[in-house]
Amino acid sequence: MSAVDTTTSATAARRAPSSRGHVVSDSIAIVWRNLINIRRNPELLVFATVQPVIFVVMFRYVFGGAIQGSLPAGQTYINYLMPGVFVQTIVFGALTTGVGLADDLNKGLIDRFRSLPMARSAVLVGRTGADLVRNFFVVMLMCVVGFIVGWTIGTDFARFVAAFLVILAFAYSMSWVFAIVGLSVKDAETAQAVSFPILAVLVFASSAFVPVATMPGWMQGWARNQPVSVVINAVRYLTIGPSPGLSAASVPKAIAWIVAIIVVAAPIAVARYRKAT
């Protein structure tokens, strides 16, 4: 019995005191856990890789002919389309952040994490971080497929990289939005059901697939200024270059949206996590 006591106190002494200093190491542990989950969960892997590839190919060949006519002169649909498909994919992918958290909550894993002396923000930072890693590979893969079906960069390598970063940053901000949804509902199915209308309004009432000018007047104000359109326009500007309807101003506007979304959503999500029941 005394042997056990000694081990207990010895272990306690060797353990680093728990404090905010663990945010980074705790978050990395959660990232590791979530990445293993993605790797071992075939559904997630398919959602993350096959679906975006199909989207690129389908939109390119199915809608390409119909929409080409309404594009500003000199633009090809594939170059117009790719930024839209990127952003559409990562916004839909952000849903998995919420679904994953709802699932953890439902299975009691969030309770386990909350009962451990770990940093309060680590579960969310780790979850959104793992989703960022996943998005990195998804966007890479889509770039490759895009190049195969005829996508071209009209600017230079630096602007291409900037476009890539804008897409990832926007993906990260959307993960935080859907983290709030995931922590507010009772299970993964509900998270999916609740998220879908939000996604539809964001993605389809945007410039992702068709020019905003073809939409009814009352919708254009929203469609032109909402974050998905602004980010897509910034990515178009960075990959196509200056052309009618695309201006350099969309880039700072997109960054402003991304920062604003994270600044608002992250604290709400962490507060939800703290008192999740």
Residue 108 in the binding site for other proteins (CB under 8 A): yes
- Give the separation between CA 210 and CA 87, rounded to whole angstroms: 14
Structural contact between residues 223 and 207, judged by C-beta atoms closer than 8 angstroms: yes
Based on CB atoms, which residue is closest to other proteins, 125 or 208?
125
Residue 45 in the binding site for other proteins (CB under 8 A): no
Token reading at 204: 């389809």
Task: Name the CA dihedral angle for 88, 140, 80, 257, rounded to a multiple of 10 degrees.
Answer: 50
- Of 99, 118, 188, 251, the one binding other proteins (CB under 8 A) is 118
Task: Candidates 28-36, 49-57, 155-163, 201-209: pick the segment binding other proteins (CB under 8 A).
Answer: 28-36
Structural contact between residues 82 and 223, judged by C-beta atoms closer than 8 angstroms: no
Closest-CA residue to 179 (of 124, 235, 130): 124
- Give the separation between CA 192 and CA 202, rounded to whole angstroms: 15
Residue 15 in the binding site for other proteins (CB under 8 A): yes
> 3-class SS at 210?
coil
Residue 109 in the binding site for other proteins (CB under 8 A): yes
Q: How many helices (H) and strands (E) does the chain have?
A: 12, 0
- Of 115, 158, 197, 217, the one binding other proteins (CB under 8 A) is 115
- Of 14, 157, 197, 217, the one binding other proteins (CB under 8 A) is 14
Based on CB atoms, which residue is closest to other proteins, 30 or 168?
30
In whole angstroms, how close is the CB of 26 to other proteins at the nearest point?
6
Residues forming the site for other proteins (CB under 8 A): 1, 4-5, 7-8, 11-12, 14-16, 18-19, 22, 25-26, 29-30, 32-33, 36-37, 40-41, 107-109, 111-118, 122, 275, 277
